[in-house]
Chain A
Amino acid sequence: MHGLTYDIAHLLAGSLVLVSFMLLYQDRLYALLNVYALHALVLAASVAWQAYAQGAPHLYITAAIALLFKAILIPVVLHRIIVRLGIHREIETVGGIGLTVLLGMGLVALAMVVTLRATEGVDLLAREDLAFALAVVLLGLLMMVTRRNAVSQVVGFMSLENGLVLAATGAKGMPLVVEISVAFSILIAFIVIGIFLFRIRERFDTVDVGALDRYRGEHG
């Protein structure tokens, strides 16, 4: 694994981290969904490149799922949902954007230090991929923690899941990768869109998770 093949894989995985950062500071839902579509697009390219580099044709299926389902279908459906719910307003971010991005940088540094130190015996491409994947996972977690809006929490979760797919495709010859990516897509499709958003809309007239917090079972 040398030269151009490695460089391109590195570039694509690095771009995924970069797009994760872009997700962190989007303060409008439309823009957030567009950046998420970009995130999924970069993932699809990265997975496709891994499929080519490892000579593993089944990974093309994962890439196709990322492209069709995550980069096109999910953003379109979420667009429709937020239009129907009438929430094109700004997203509140807890702690401010500057602080969030700083925290994100800290997490990326952490991911690099931890994985690069732990994986000295592993193939170079897999190592870099793993470090980037962990960074994407941690940034996704950070986004879920800092956002209060249900839609943006879901976007955070989906970006986290993209990091997992990156890690799984980077692990050479890992079985079940396609199955896992399908399982995750089903998870997202069914639970998030099908049940929760509609029910939350139906019951609360808001998709702000903060409004849910007003009801505490303990004191109610």
Chain B
Amino acid sequence: MNFDPVTLLLAIPTVAALLIALMPGSRASATLNTGASSLTFLAALSLLFVERPAPGAYLLVDEFSTIFLVLINFVSFTTSVFSATYVAHEVETGRVTPGFLRLYHALYQALTLAFNLALLSNNIGIMWVAIELATLTTVVMVGIYRTHAAIEAAWKYFILASVGIALALFGTILVYMAAEPVLGAGLNAMIWTDLVSHAASLEPAMLNLAFVFLLLGYGTKIGLFPLHAWLPDAHAEGPTPITAVLSGLLLNVALYALLRCKMLMAGNPGALAPGPLMILMGLVSLLFGAFMLYRRHDIKRLFAYSSIEHMGLITFAFGLGGPLANFAGLLHMVLHSLTKSAIFFSVGDISQVKGTQKIAEMGGLTKTNPLIGWGLVIGVAAIAGLPPLGIFTSEFLTVSATLAAKPWLALPLVLGLLIAVGALFLQLNRIAFGEPKGANHKVKCSYIPMFVHLALVLAACIYLPATLVAWFQAVARLLG
């Protein structure tokens, strides 16, 4: 039998989810989860070396989806390592029962499956189903602590996300109806590669209407203002590994779906340009997120708003279009995923050490817990875009692309970034420096995932391998 990474990407999480769900006892489920995630990551990595299969009626692997597949399976693997120690502590402190571990880990694998399916599908219908599956599993995971706040967050997330996926489905139906006269009824009119190659001959008015629904639908999941209301609650109330997964992965998968739709629109000269809409929503989200950073009292909410800000920036970059801005957008997306999940790893440890998520009850972490404290400091410096770290590069590229294309947009963009930097450092000062405050529980932390992510982000600023640059440039051209 031939080695087929595509099948493995779907099969490993499926088998693992079933195994964990059916296996009696919950002790081995964390190990199984980490093991399955590492295998899935290896399968994704092998996509770089084996020849890609030709696009079929259901599955598609191209350079664009490979970036996402490698990134997402890498972060999902490191998160599973972090998650193993994190949930072990949650069980020890009695916040959750051991029985919860099986449900949690089975859902984790189901979520990986949903992500991989969304990224691999060559069919807009299947992509939608996969994103719906991802939504459902995360809703349950957000509500898993069953506290007042967790249930409120899960309910809000469920309602808003359901409306989002419903709108996205309406958009998908409209794309099908636009394609049906050209490609014929049936499966053909939903196949992504066929849609793009015939994009120019589709009815532009239908595509416009479809794109509005798709932008609103998938935009809800990206967390774009004003559809972001679920995001801070869901980030704050779920288990921290899930927060890392939401911020680093789910938002990106939704963005991937939106970018696919954008490519379709770009192929049709008569259709409305998707760029300005994305620029507007991105910029508003960026400014909104930046201002909201100031008066946060909950550490996970703080970084949730930071995710809104950065997803806004990424959407802005892709909306701007052109090789440079697209390149910056891709790079920023990758680095944001790595940095934000590293931050949430340290935030998870901090909230366990302090026994709370309230910023007012933290302080002096660099003295009491130097490894986590300095990890957070480096992470925040990275997310704020300070020069020796990778996000500086992508933000710099975005700003220069803006100056080249639409100079007057650079003003609000830079303003938003500076506001965010100020807020982040104010908050960081309260958390990491000053006199030690609050409880100091003994917690077994896993530092490796956090520092691996941070090292990668640092490396990205100092040296980007030429093959990586060429790869990203090729995708940037593909995105138009």
Chain B CB within 8 A of A173 CB: yes
B35-43, B148-156, B243-251: which one contacts chain A?
B148-156
Does residue A106 face the partner (Cβ distance < 8 Å to B)?
A: no
Is residue B316 within 8 Å, beta carbon to beta carbon, of the partner chain? no
Q: Is the interface of B mostly helix, strand, loop or mixed?
A: helix
Distance A76 CA – B433 CA, assembled complex (angstroms): 58
Chain A, 156-174, contact with B by CB distance < 8 Å: what is the 0/1 string? 0100110010011001111
Interface status of B233 (Cβ within 8 A of chain A) = yes
Whether a CB of chain B sits under 8 angstroms from the CB of A89 is no
Given A175-B125, A204-B148, decide whether A137 and B209 contact each other with a Cβ distance below 8 A.
no
Contact with A along B143-177 (1 / 0, CB 8 A): 10010110111110011001100110110011011
B149 near A199 with CB under 8 A, answer: no
Indicate which residue in B163, B180, B208, B298 contacts A118 across the interface (CB closer than 8 Å).
B208
Q: A144-B159, A168-B173, A171-B176 are in contact. Are A180 and B125 (CB under 8 A)?
A: yes
Q: Is the CB of A218 within 8 A of B209?
A: no
Ordered by A's residue number, 9 sampled pairs between the chains whose C-beta atoms are within 8 Å are A122-B203, A130-B174, A157-B162, A157-B163, A171-B176, A174-B176, A183-B132, A200-B155, A212-B151
Contact mask for chain B residues 102-140; partner A; CB cutoff 8 A; 1 contact, 0 none: 000000000000000000000001100100100010011
Binding site for A on B (CB under 8 A): 125-126, 129, 132, 136, 139-140, 143, 146, 148-149, 151-155, 158-159, 162-163, 166-167, 169-170, 173-174, 176-177, 180-181, 185-187, 189-190, 203, 205-206, 208-209, 233, 236-237, 296-298, 301
Cβ-closest chain B residue relative to A179: B129
Binding site for B on A (CB under 8 A): 114-115, 117-122, 126, 130, 133-134, 137, 141, 144, 150, 153, 157, 160-161, 164, 167-168, 171-176, 179-180, 183, 187, 190-191, 195-196, 199-200, 203-204, 209, 212-213, 215, 217-220
CB distance from A117 to the nearest CB of B (A): 7
Known A179-B129, A191-B136: A196·B158 in contact at CB below 8 Å: yes
B158 contacts A176, C-beta separation under 8 Å = no
B70 smallest CB distance to A (angstroms): 28
Please state if B153 and A217 are interface contacts (CB–CB under 8 Å): yes
Is A191 within 8 A of B163, CB to CB? no
Q: How far does the alpha carbon of A168 sit from the alpha carbon of B208 in the complex, in Å?
A: 18
Pairwise interchain contact B154-A196, C-beta atoms closer than 8 A: yes
User: Nearest Cβ in chain B — how far from A120, in angstroms?
Assistant: 7
- A171/B125 in contact, CB under 8 A: no
A164 contact set on B, CB distance < 8 A: 166, 169-170, 173
Q: Are B149 and A215 in contact (CB under 8 A)?
A: yes
Whether B170 and A134, one on each chain, are in contact in the complex, defined by CB atoms closer than 8 angstroms, is yes
Contacts of B152 in A (CB 8 A): 212-213, 215, 217
A190-B132 Cα distance, complex, nearest whole Å: 13
Tell me, in angstroms, the Cα distance from A122 to B177 when the chains sit together.
8
Distance in angstroms between the alpha carbons of A172 and B181 in the assembled complex:
10
Which of B166, B177, B186, B237 has the largest count of A CB atoms less than 10 A from its CB?
A: B177
Of the candidates B125, B181, B297, the one whose C-beta lies within 8 Å of that of A176 is: B125
A204 partner residues in chain B, CB cutoff 8 A: 148
B110 → chain A, closest Cβ, in Å? 13
Besides the contacts A119-B177, A196-B151, what 10 more A-B pairs have beta carbons closer than 8 Å? A118-B209, A119-B206, A144-B159, A172-B180, A173-B185, A174-B185, A187-B132, A200-B155, A204-B148, A217-B298
Q: Which residues of B sit under 8 angstroms from A200, Cβ to Cβ? A: 151, 155
CA separation between A203 and B148, bound complex, in Å? 7
